[in-house]
Amino acid sequence: MALDTPYRAIFCDLWTDTTLDILPLRDVSFEDYIGRAGSLSGTVPIPDSSIAERAHRIKPGRTTVYLERGGDLWWGGIVWTTNLQSSGRGVVTLGIQAATFDSYAARRRIRTDAFKTEFTQPTDQFVIARSLWNSLSAGLGNSGIEVGDWEEKSGVTRTVSYRHGDETVYQEALDQLASQDKGFEYQVLVYRDPNDNGKRVRQLRLGSPIRTGATDMIFDRPGVILSYSFSDDATRGGTVALARGASTNSNAGAESRPTLSDLRRPQNPLPDLWPEIDLSSDHNEVSDKATLNSLAQAAVDAPWGAVQIPEISIRLGGIVPPALLGRTARIRITDEWHPTGLDARYRIVGVKVKPAERGKPDTAELALEES
């Protein structure tokens, strides 16, 4: 990221969110997704001892980095690794690898019996998700993650149990909960609170699915769309799903077999005739057949048949807001493949940004799914 870039890299203390410094960050790219952690990579140039002393404050696992553009926060996360390098010409740089705050869930394990019986009665899945995030967020000190409105419900209830000693990773618990039939999505959003002097906020978003904005964002080709890709992949889809769970065999002398779901097929009729294509998933900590049935149903409903993976690359301009995830994109394309014009709506589920550098424009690659 050149010094005249519209982005600012703000490094902060993870525990208190106190700003440590604003440093130049070059060769940077960052991405964010709904339902999984995004990443950031970049390089801090170290031209002299003064910058080196300031860069010494960046401590992996204890430092956060935010990217700010036009006063808005576009990305925020935890610095997990750094790499100090010196070239043959004596050029010193500090490489930065960071991941969005969602990634913290992958670094924590459930080591409490607080969830052993709390959700053995049907509980709204949003309440369970917020309880898990509330528990793990306590490890972030004074600047944890706000879990949102406890009164917001999904209308879908679950029963789960997590015990100390099982070493269940929080992210695995959340993903398993979210990936069931009629499940949900989650994302940690970063923004400045205009009602609190621009204070930085990290807030959990839940949705079934997550949606942002009341109006469509329109992208045209020819126009703001630089390139596009619509991949149809039958290797990722299927028409029949089975989920395998934990073994419930208590007889040491007998063969150990996993708990199996029923065979599940798409709930909505397929639009045409398809051969049987099998999907299988393993859930070693699940012994409840109803949960396995729910996981199998969700697996076959989402990617039945072939999976289409649309992506577009666009120029970033003043009309493109920072909160892109969950927005509805109206894609209009006229070319040789679409001679009469494509006009379709998709939801933005992933964003990968390459800031302007060395004469190249500020661009973003948007991952889409049918809206």
**Fold category of 7-104 in CATH:** Phage tail proteins - horseshoe like beta roll fold (2.30.300)
Q: How many CA atoms lie within 13 A of 195 on its CB side?
A: 0
- CATH class for the domain made up of 217-233+307-370: mainly beta
Task: Give the pLDDT of residue 5.
Answer: 54
Query: What b/e readout covers 189-222, taking b as 16+ CB neighbours within 10 angstroms?
Result: bbbeeeeeeeebbbebbbbeebebeeeebebebe
Q: How much is the pLDDT for 275?
A: 86
From first to last of its 371 residues, the chain has per-residue pLDDT tens of 444 456 889 999 999 999 999 999 988 899 999 989 999 999 999 999 999 999 999 999 999 999 998 888 999 999 999 999 999 998 999 999 999 999 999 999 999 998 988 898 999 999 999 999 999 999 988 778 999 999 999 999 999 999 999 899 999 999 999 999 999 999 999 999 999 888 999 999 999 999 998 899 999 999 999 999 998 888 888 889 999 998 876 666 667 788 999 999 988 877 777 888 899 999 988 888 999 999 999 988 876 666 778 999 998 875 677 888 999 999 999 999 999 999 999 999 999 998 777 777 788 999 999 87
Q: Rounded to whole angstroms, how far apart are CA atoms 47 and 103?
A: 32
For the chain, domain boundaries: 7-104, 108-207, 217-233+307-370, 240-248+257-301
Q: Find the radius of gyration of the CA atoms of the chain.
A: 23
What is the model's pLDDT at position 117?
84
Alpha helices in 65-146 (DSSP H): 125-137
